[in-house]
Structures are given as structure tokens and as C-alpha cells.
Amino acid sequence: MQRRVLIIDDEEDIRAVAAMSLETVAGWEVMMAGSGAAGIARAQEQLPDAILLDVMMPVMDGPTTFRELRANSKTAHIPVILLTAKVQAADQKRFSDLGVAAVMFKPFDPLALAGDIAEVLGWNDK
């Protein structure tokens, strides 16, 4: 089954590497947005199977974007995985307490990214 993933990250390089990884390694369809607001709009229009969401973005950060996604009935059900460079235990706990599906760390391994996402979301096809 082809999955559809939305990547919301303000860094174009991160979006490009993640998209190439997911498309090439897993054959998934990838959509992208460069800001929280654009990501919310894209999620409402495209209804992806999952969202990879950067924590640190200008204007609307990841946690704020996540709360907006949860507050909208069209996007509330979509699993969100946070991408962060923050590896401190306090930050990890704060992010997990939001109710996200998982927290993944930057830099990520492009060859393992799709497998990591599939594992945390239970997408491993038998």
C-alpha cells in the first residue's frame, strides 16, 4: 500500500532529503510545506497518512502547529511525528507529552527514515 506523508519543515534541504528518502526507499508519495501555516493548509487539503513535523520553525513552531492540527476535525486523526535536533531529556518529555506519535532526531539516517516511520506507526506490511 502506498503511503502519503506530509513533511513540514522550514529547511528546504531537510525537506528534500526526507522526501527523496521516503520516495526512493519506500515508494511513498510525499507532500511538502515550508511553514506551520502552509502545512496545516496542505494537511486539510491532502489528508496525508502521516505528518513529519519540524519542532523549531519561525512564526509557528512545531508544537503550535501540532495543536492546530489536533484542533481541526479534518486533521485531528493524522499521526504526527516530530523531527527535532533537541535531544535533552526535558525536551523529549515535553514533546512526548503533547501526544505525538513519535519523536525522531535530526540528523536522521535517510536510508532508515522510512523504516523508522513505518515501525512507529505500525505500517510494517507483513
Tell me the backbone φ, ψ of residue 78, rounded to 5 degrees: -75, 125
**Residue 125 exposed, middle or buried by CB count within 10 Å (0-12, 13-18, 19+):** exposed
Over 90: is that where the pLDDT of 126 sits? no
pLDDT tens figures, 98-117: 889 998 988 999 999 999 99
pLDDT on residue 87 = 66
* Helix or strand (DSSP H, E) at 65: helix 62-71
Closest CA to 64 of 90, 39, 33: 39
Instruction: Render pLDDT for 42-88 as a digit per residue (tens, 0 to 9).
Output: 999 999 999 999 999 999 999 999 999 999 999 999 999 999 886 66
CATH numbers and ranges of domains, the chain: 4-121 (3.40.50.2300)
The pLDDT, as a whole number, for residue 55 is: 93
Global pTM reads 0.93
